[in-house]
Each structure stands twice: as C-alpha cells, then as structure tokens.
Amino acid sequence: MFTIEHEFDATVVTLIDDGPAPLQEDVTINSFAECLTVEQFDTRTDTIMKITLSPEQVRDLAAALDLPEGAYQFSRI
C-alpha cells in the first residue's frame, strides 16, 4: 500500500508495508526539484535514517530496475 501527497515544495510518497509479519517501518520518499530523499524510522536507534539521491542517481536507479546484472553508464550525447 502507498500514499501520494503533493506539497508546496515536494511530492511525498509513503510506502506502507502490508505484507506478512514481521512488518517493516513505513518508507517516505520526498521528491524535490534538486534531490530525492528516502527516510525510514530505525527502531534499533530510535532515529529516522535518511538517504539523499541526486536526480542523476534517481535516473540510474530507475534504469537499473529493468536491466540484467552488469555495469552501465549513460553516454552524454
């Protein structure tokens, strides 16, 4: 299950684990013009863990989801 919210400066997608137990904490993805952040609460440390991706890293991740094992690089045309 997931939700999508459009805020003033970001689109926020929240991924909610509705699979079999044990369930993972919700994952929140904030898409800004200059970056994308992925956040998840860590129950072991009682903190929110955050990863920040550049637009180029998001592009590479999207491409990687549909490619077989290997090393790839986008060429500049």
The answer to whether position 42 is within a domain reads yes
The answer to whether position 69 is within a domain reads no
Number of structural domains, the chain?
Answer: 1
55 backbone dihedrals φ, ψ, rounded to 5°: -55, -35
The answer to whether position 44 is within a domain reads yes
The answer to whether position 75 is within a domain reads no
Structural domain boundaries enclosing 45: 2-64
The answer to whether position 56 is within a domain reads yes
Q: What pLDDT digit, counting tens, does each position of 8-20 carry? A: 999 999 999 999 9
The answer to whether position 29 is within a domain reads yes
DSSP letters for 11-73: EEEEE---SSSSPPPPEEEEE-SS-EEEEEEETTTTEEEEEEE-HHHHHHHHHHTTS-SS---
The answer to whether position 6 is within a domain reads yes
Q: What pLDDT digit, counting tens, does each position of 29-74 carry? A: 999 999 999 999 999 999 999 999 999 999 999 999 888 999 988 8
Contact 31, 13 (CB under 8 A): yes
C-alpha span between 71 and 64 (Å, rounded): 10
